[in-house]
Amino acid sequence: MLEIRIDHARCNLCGHCIDSCPAPCLGFDEAESVVQIFDLDLCLVCRNCEIHCPKDCLVVDFNEWEATREFRGMVRYTPPRRSES
């Protein structure tokens, strides 16, 4: 469904991806000195990180069809109610 791939070899740790992200899902891993995905569930799929990366080392891969299919399986269909007029 959703995957964010980071090419750490190309990353120059400028932080544009982290600064442009409206959700706290990206951050610096101080121990490894790399940009890391902290919580993918918080990702809004806005692709700001991918757009603002000057080195093109982030790819946001979101399969909308898979997400829709999975969501349909979680939601039970309820027909609309008739108005009582």
- pTM strictly above 0.95: no
SS3 per residue for the chain:
CEEEEECCCCCCCCCHHHHHCCCCCEEEECCCCEEEECCHHHCCCCCHHHHHCCCCCEEEEECHHHHHHHHHHHCCCCCCCCCCC
pLDDT digits (tens, 9 = 90+) for 21-60: 999 999 999 888 899 998 888 888 899 999 999 999 999 9
State the pLDDT at residue 30. 87
Which one is the CATH code of 2-74: 1.10.760.10, 3.30.70.20, 3.40.1160.10, 3.30.390.10?
3.30.70.20
Hey, what are 8's tokens?
């750490």
